[in-house]
Structure 1
Amino acid sequence: MNAITLYTRRLGQATSFEFNVFDNQFATENLAVRKVLMAMLESVHELLNEVEIEYNDSMLVEKVGAKRAGELLRFLGATKDNSRETMTNGVVVSRTFRAPLTEERYEYFYHLKDIATLAHYRLKEGDEDRIVFYFTRYLQLIAPDARSQDRFLAGLDAYSLPYKLVPIK
């Protein structure tokens, strides 16, 4: 297997590791991609306390079915009170909600079979993004310190996932 490419960038004390889906040419349900997400989650697990999810109703229904979409959104914490709509020309194009990241919700992301089941999500430490998946374009870890950076790279090694780091300025 060829090495996956991770683009790195310093953000103050933090380091961003970006897995570009197009550059790596893996389907979002590929085991290698799932291992990247798993290593990201493991590296910052104890810091994560919130999830923010943006979704399009019809896209989610197409992926998982109408009944499962409703169940999934409720499980992940969507309510009428915490959801907001993004509209274009009077049409709802997406909905966004933010909820506590419980252990059950963490496990959902950890065992996700297709990282693109939800179009856009952010796993957060308070207001700080730690893991971001953005519309099948990229999966990003923002590791706040050397410990979480080392844990991420050690996780990739533990999953026997070869990688190369490409610094960007």
Structure 2
Amino acid sequence: MNAIILYTRRQGAATSFEFNVFDNQFATENLAVRKVLMAMLESVRERLSDVEIEYNDGMLAEKMGAARAGELLRFLGATKENTRENRSHDVVVSRTFRAELTRERYDYFYQLKDIATLAHYRLKEGDEDRIVFYFTRYLQLIAPDEPSRDKFLAGLESYSLPYRLVPIS
């Protein structure tokens, strides 16, 4: 297996690791991609407090069926009170909600078979992004400190996932 490419950037004490889906040429349900997400989750697990999800009703229903999509959104914490509509002119193009990242919700992401099941999500520490998946373009970890950074890289190694770090400015 070729090494996966991770683009890195320092952000103060934090380090951003970006897995670009196009550059790595893996399907979002590939085991290597899933292992990247799992290592990211493990590296900041104790810090994560919230999940923010953006989705398009039609696309999600098409992907998994309307009933299953509704069940998933409710499980992940969507309610009428915490969901806001994102509009382009008078058309609802997506909806966004934020909810507590419970143990069960964490496990959902950890066991995710296709990281693109949801189009856009952010796992947060308070108001700070820690893990971001953005519309099948990239999966990003913002490791807040050296221990988180080291834990992420050790996680990749424990999964026997070769990687190459490419610094960007």
May I ask how many residue pairs the two structures share in their alignment?
Answer: 169
Once the two structures are superposed, the pairs formed by residues 1-169 of structure 1 within 5 Å of their partners are 1-169=1-169
Q: Post-superposition shift, 1:79?
A: 0.3
Q: Post-superposition shift, 1:62?
A: 1.3
Mapped partners of 2:21, 2:112: distance in 1: 16
Root-mean-square deviation (Å): 0.4
**1:91-121 residue CA offsets vs partner (Å, 9 max, x unmatched):** 1100000000000000000000000000000
Mapped partners of 1:59, 1:142: distance in 2: 28
**1:125-150 residue CA offsets vs partner (Å, 9 max, x unmatched):** 00000000000000000000000000
Give the letter aligned to residue 72 of structure 1.
L
Mapped partners of 1:59, 1:122: distance in 2: 19
- TM-score w.r.t. the length of structure 1 is 0.99
Give the letter aligned to residue 32 of structure 2.
A
Mapped partners of 2:107, 2:81: distance in 1: 24
Mapped partners of 1:147, 1:163: distance in 2: 18
Give the letter aligned to residue 59 of structure 2.
M
Mapped partners of 1:14, 1:162: distance in 2: 22
Mapped partners of 1:60, 1:72: distance in 2: 10
Describe the SS at the equivalent of 1:61: helix
Mapped partners of 1:62, 1:148: distance in 2: 37
Q: Percent identity?
A: 82
Give the letter aligned to residue 99 of structure 2.
A
Mapped partners of 2:37, 2:65: distance in 1: 24
Mapped partners of 1:44, 1:119: distance in 2: 21
**1:22-44 residue CA offsets vs partner (Å, 9 max, x unmatched):** 00000000000000000000000
Q: Post-superposition shift, 1:74?
A: 0.2
What stretches of structure 2 of length at least 5 have no aligned partner? none
Give the letter aligned to residue 11 of structure 1.
Q
